[in-house]
Structure 1
Amino acid sequence: MEIGIIRMSSKGQIVIPASMRRDLDDGEQLVIIRDGSRFILKPLEDLEPALEDDIRFAEQTEKAYLEFEKGEYTHEKDVDFIQKMKSW
């Protein structure tokens, strides 16, 4: 097991130590899971397909909610909205 110390920036950014990211490709998506005071970070491709789908759906839902909060929400027919959700 490797242990490293990192610092979070004022923008919420962290840097994974070089020795721990050598097997990761540039632009690779990672999932972070918070379980109480424990954080788990793992490559998105390592997740089971069903969990990966759930996470992508949650990301799209969060994005839509933030757009709504900013007043960027547009009205759609229910059929169009359901079609959009199916594409998520």
Structure 2
Amino acid sequence: MRIESKDTLRKAEGRDVSEVLAGGELSLVAHILRALDIERGVKVVTQSRVPSGSGLGGSSALSVAVAAALCAAFDRKIDPDGLW
């Protein structure tokens, strides 16, 4: 499993999502993977043009985009009511 952020130049790798979470880097994406029960065998690369800490909701938008892409790629369904 590999997670990369092109805009921050950070990378996290491990055999499974637990190892990626243990590293602390890019844990937001790792938590999304775990919530969707995707534990290994995936590479996620993100890039955002919203400046970190700008208050523009960049991480929120990124979370939704990553979750939607992973759901489409792995045929996962999310109950919208369960997100609240």
The TM-score range, normalised by the shorter chain, is 0.3 to 0.5
Higher relative contact order (CA 8 A, sep 6+): 2
Please report the TM-score for the alignment, with normalisation by the length of structure 2.
0.33
Greater Rg, structure 1 or structure 2? Answer: 1
Please report the TM-score for the alignment, with normalisation by the length of structure 1.
0.32
